[in-house]
A and B are shown apart, each in its own frame.
Chain A
C-alpha cells in the first residue's frame, strides 16, 4: 500500500520545465529518500505535496485518495531553508504553528511539554528564538514539524546544520516515528544517510524520475560483477600474476600489492554466472584472506545515473 503516490506530475515555470511526468510511489510506514542534484525538481515536487504550489497536470494520491486541503493536517514539513520568527518566544510560536496545522490549543500544549522535556529544551520555552543557539533552534524546528503527529513527514535535508550528536538524535527520532507508523519522505544529498535509514529511494534528474525502488534492489541491480579479493602476498608475485591473468573465468580489473596483502578486483567474464567459479580457482592456488562482491554505494549509483 502506498501512502503517497504521484501520477505524471507536470510543472512548468516560465521558460523551464520543473517536473516532467513524475510518478513516485512511497510505501506506508517506510522511509523514502528523494534524491537528485540541485535544481532537479525535488523542492518543486515537495511543494506540490505540501499544496504550496499546484501542479499543471497529474495527480497526487494520499493514502489512495486525491490530495485534499485537510491533508495538511496529516503532513509535517521541514523545509530546507529553516526559519521561525526570531523575535517570538519559542513555546508561543510552536503553539501557534501547531494550531495553524489544526491541533487544538490544549493538545498542542500537552505535546509541547513532552517534546521539550525529551529534547531538553524546557528551560528555553520562554526565550525568544534568537537567544537560542543554532543547534537548539534546529531542535525547536524539528519539534514543530512533528508536534501534530503527522502520518507523513516531509523532510528536506533534515540533517544539515546539526552536529553529530544531534544528527544521531534526530535520526533515531525519525526511525522511531517510522516504527509508530509514520511515512517519511526525505530529500537529501547525503548518500551515507540514505544507505543508513532509507528503505526506498526515488532519483530525480533534470525534471524526470530516472530511478526508483528499494535501496537493496537498486544496489543489486547496479552490481557490476566485480569482486574484491584480498590474498596473502605470494612469494613470487610476478609468477602468480601471470598465472592469474591466464584464467579464462575472470579478468583482473586492478592489482595492488602492499607489504602483506595483494588487493585485487576481479570481474567475471561473460558466460560464467557463478561466484564460486572465481572462488574455486583462487582456492586451489592462493591463500585467500577475504572475498566479497563489490556492491556499488548509493553515492556511486547516484553519480553514474545522473551522468549517463
Chain B
C-alpha cells in the first residue's frame, strides 16, 4: 500500500467514524425534509378562533357588504370609539372605523386594537374596501355594462418558454425550476468549500499543534501528507453528499407513500397520473424533465472537486503557516472573499444567467465552481464548460504547488510571527 493511500485511508476513516459525521449525515436530510414538510403541515392546521371586529361605519355603505370570514366577524357598532377606548376595550378584537364614503373626498379608515395586529386583518379589510370602492366608482359613471367591459378588458397573457434542442426538438422549460436547481447546487458547493476546506485547515493545525507532523514527515513527504489529507477529506465530502442524495430519495419516496403525493408525476412520460396535479405543477414537472439531472449531477461532482481542491490546498497552506486557529483569520479572509463574492454573483446570476457578470464569473476559477452551477440548468455550451473547467484544473494544480511550498516550510516552524512577507519568502524561487 503506498504512503499516499495509507494517509488517505486514515484521514477518511477517522472522520467517517466520528459521531458528528454520522449525526450530520443522517440528520441533515431529515431536517431538510422537515423544513419542507412542517410549514405544509402547519398550514393545514386551521385557526378556529373567531374574532369579533366592531365596525363604526360613518357612511353606512360598507358594513353590510363586508364579508365575514371563518376567523373574522364584522359587527355593527354605533358607539363612538371613545367609549371603548377607556373602559370596555377588551370586548372586541379590533375596531374598524370608516370616516365616510370612500369615493368622495379622502376619508380615513383605521383599525384600532389593544393587541398589535398582524398584517392578516389589515390586508383583508384593505382588499375588501378597495374592491367595494372600485365597484362604487364604476357604478358612479352610470354607463351601461361598464363593469362587464372592464372585467373583459383584463386579459392575462401566459408566456411559455420553450427551448430547441440540438436536433431541433422542442423542449418546455421553466426558468423558475432552473433557478431553484441552480441555486441549490451553488449553495451546496459553497457549503462544501467552506465546510471541508475548513476541515482541511483544522486537520493541519491539529497535526502541527500535536507535534506529530515531524514524525510523519520523517516517514512520508510533506506533499503526500497534504494531498492525503485533502483527498481523504474530499472523499468524506462525496460520501456525505451521496448519502444525502440517497437518504433524501428514500425519505421522499416514503413521504409520497404516506402523504399520497404522486411521485410518478415527476417523470412526464407517464401521462396516467398527471391529471391529479394542478396544471402549474404539471408544467414545472415537464420542465424538470427537460433538465438533465444526471448531467447536472455529473458536473456538480466535477466542480465540487475542482473548487474544493483549489480552496482546500490554500486552506492547508494557511493551516501549515500558523500555530493555532486564532491566527487563522488574517489568512483565511482572502480565501473567504472570493467564495462569498461567487455566491452573490451566483444569486444574481440565477435571474440573469446570460449576463456578462455571470458568464465571466463562470470562467474565473475562483468563482466558477459556484457560478457555473447557476448557469448549468439553463443550458451551457459545451465549450464553455470545457474552458471553464480547464482553467479551474490549471489553477488548482498551480495553487496546490504554491500551497505545498508554504505547507512544507510552515509545518516545522513554531512560534514565528507569520506575515505575508514571510510567506512570500517561502514561496519565491530559490536562486
From the candidates B3, B211, B412, name the one contacting A82 in the complex (CB within 8 A).
Answer: B211
Q: Find residues 89-120 in chain A having any chain B CB closer than 8 Å to their own CB.
A: 96-97, 99-102
Q: Which residues of B contact A50 (CB under 8 A)?
A: 218
Nearest A residue to B213, CB-CB: A83
Contact residues in B for A88 (Cβ distance below 8 Å): 14
Pick the contact of B6 from A53, A96, A144 — CB < 8 Å? Answer: A96
Which of A83, A99, A102, A144 contacts B214, CB < 8 Å? A83
**Residues in chain B near residue A14, CB distance under 8 A:** 425
8 Å CB interface, A55-107 against B: 72, 75, 77, 79, 81-88, 96-97, 99-102
Q: Are B218 and A84 in contact (CB under 8 A)?
A: no
State the main secondary structure of chain A at its contact with B. Answer: loop
Say whether A83 contacts B217, CB under 8 Å. Answer: no
Cβ of A82: which chain B residues have Cβ within 8 Å of it? 211
Q: How far is the CA of A51 from the CA of B223 in the complex (A)?
A: 13
Which residues of the partner chain B approach A239 to less than 8 Å between Cβ atoms?
none
Smallest CB-CB separation from B210: which chain A residue? Answer: A83
Residue contact B210 to A100, C-beta cutoff 8 Å: no
- Chain A stretch 176-210: residues in CB contact (< 8 A) with chain B: none
Whether A84 pairs with B212 at a CB distance below 8 angstroms is yes
Q: Mark B390-431, 1 if CB is under 8 A from A, else 0.
A: 000000000000000000000010100000000001000000
With a cutoff of 8 Å between Cβ atoms, the chain B residues found around residue A270 in the complex are: none
User: Is the C-beta of B10 less than 8 angstroms from some C-beta in chain A?
Assistant: yes
The CA-CA distance from A85 to B6 in the complex, in Å, is 15
Number of interface residues of B (CB under 8 A): 22
Cβ of A95 to closest chain B Cβ, rounded Å: 10
Contacting pair B219 A97 (CB below 8 A): yes
* A145 nearest CB neighbor, chain B only: B215
* Minimal beta-carbon separation of A131 from chain B (angstroms): 15
Chain B residue at minimal CB-CB distance from A50: B218
Asked if B211 contacts A100 (CB within 8 A), the reply is no
B216 on the interface (CB 8 Å rule)?
yes
Q: Does A52 contact B (CB under 8 A)?
A: yes
Residue A219 CB within 8 A of the other chain: no
Residue of B nearest to A84 (CB): B212
Looking at the assembled complex, report how far the CB atom of A108 sits from the nearest CB atom of chain B, in whole angstroms. 12
Instruction: Check if B425 sits within 8 Å of A84, measured CB to CB.
Output: no
Bound state CA distance, A88 and B15, in angstroms? 11
Q: A82-B211, A85-B210 are known contacts. Are A100 and B425 too (CB-CB below 8 A)?
A: no
Complex contact B412–A85 (CB within 8 A): no
Q: Which residues in B have their C-beta under 8 angstroms from that of A86? A: 210
The answer to whether A52 touches B214, judged by C-beta atoms less than 8 angstroms apart, is: yes
Shortest C-beta distance, B225 to chain A (Å), equals 9
Name the one of A52, A75, A96, A97 contacting B412, with C-beta atoms under 8 angstroms: A52
Q: Mark A244-282, 1 if CB is under 8 A from B, else 0.
A: 000000000000000000000000000000000000000
User: If A14-B425, A100-B6 touch, does A51 touch B212 (CB 8 Å cutoff)?
Assistant: no
Asked if B35 is at the interface of the complex by the 8 Å CB criterion, the answer is no
User: B220, A100: Cβ atoms under 8 Å?
Assistant: yes
- A304 CA / B71 CA spacing, docked (Å): 99
Contact pattern, B 214-256, Cβ under 8 Å of A = 1, otherwise 0: 1111111000000000000000000000000000000000000
CB proximity of B182 to chain A, nearest CB, Å: 39
Q: Identify the A interface with B (CB < 8 A).
A: 14, 47, 50-53, 72, 75, 77, 79, 81-88, 96-97, 99-102, 144
- What are some 10 contacts across the A-B interface (CB < 8 A)? A14-B425, A50-B218, A51-B218, A77-B218, A83-B210, A83-B211, A83-B214, A87-B14, A100-B216, A100-B219
* Residues on B facing A (Cβ under 8 Å): 1, 3, 6-7, 10, 14, 206-207, 210-220, 412, 414, 425
Which 5 residue pairs across A and B have the least CB separation, nearest first?
Answer: A83-B211, A50-B218, A81-B211, A100-B219, A83-B212
